[in-house]
Amino acid sequence: MTVESTRPVRARAATAKKPAGGARPLDVAEILRVARQLVAAQGLDALSMRSLTRELGVSHMATYHHVGNKEDLVALIVDDVLQQIEVPGPDEGTWEERLRVLNQRSFLAMQSCPGIDQAVFDTRPTPQGWRLIDAYVGILLDAGFSERQAALGFSLIHSYGMGRSGIERELRNSPGGVETPGESSALQRIKPVWAQLHRPDFRDFSIDVIIAGLRSILVAPEQDQAGAAK
């Protein structure tokens, strides 16, 4: 989700309306269920308002009462996926443990809907997106980071998520791995692991590095004070 925009995406009210012409009533819950089935079967890129109305067996105008276009539909799916993510509270461990758990829960939720990770970072934050942004920033503030550090820390985590999403998308599109040029000995040495960069141990390594870097910011002032006391 792009956090530069402060205008949240709002899904239309999930109430059934009776379309004109005696067509059957339709609500957001049914639209969402069918849309997610289409994404699971064909991928997010193949999802369209035309394919949705065909699968629902209704006219385009029937869905327009609830979802105006594909952008609104994708935002609806994003919000539905993100609402599954439970935010770890202060009683669930240290700030490092809470960050790691929230990151893992976010990954698992997005795994349930192929391609949604790209949409999460490409669209404005939905209401559930803002909830998770608030959770990440709140964990950093609870840890003792200043407001500025918490904002920068979340930006780092967000940028990592965007980059990881892009890399994993490329790996899915290149099942044989990434081609490395020429005789570069360093690239040849790591070539066998390129296709494995989507595995959980690589994600764990990445979040460990981020947490270690953030922890060093908290530890540095304590070390400075200890040095000054000597």
Q: pTM here?
A: 0.76
Split at pLDDT 50, 70, 90, the class of 195 is low
60-91: pLDDT as tens digits = 888 888 888 999 999 999 999 999 999 999 99
* Residue 111 reports pLDDT greater than 60: yes
DSSP 1: -
Q: What is the chain's percent helix, strand, coil content, to nearest 5?
A: 70, 0, 30
Rounded Cα gap, residues 118 and 78, in angstroms: 10
pLDDT band at 97 (very low <50, low <70, confident <90, very high): very high
Q: Answer yes or no: is pLDDT of 155 > 50.
A: yes
CA terminus-to-terminus distance, the chain: 47
∠ Cα 84 89 95 (to 5°): 115
In the block, which residue shows the tokens 């699971």? 40
pLDDT at 112: 83
Tell me the pLDDT band of 174, cut-offs 50, 70 and 90: low
Give the pLDDT of residue 178: 56
Residue 99 has pLDDT above 90, yes or no: yes
Distance in angstroms (rounded) separating the CA atoms of residues 52 and 28: 12
Domain around 227: 1-230
> According to the model, what pLDDT value does residue 144 have?
96
Assign residue 9 the CATH number of its domain.
1.10.357.10
Number of separate domains in the chain: 1
Residue with the bigger pLDDT between 226 and 211: it is 211
Q: Between 129 and 161, where is the model more confident?
A: 129
Query: Of the segments 113-122, 140-149, 154-163, 165-174, which one has the largest average pLDDT value?
Result: 140-149
More confident residue, 129 or 2: 129
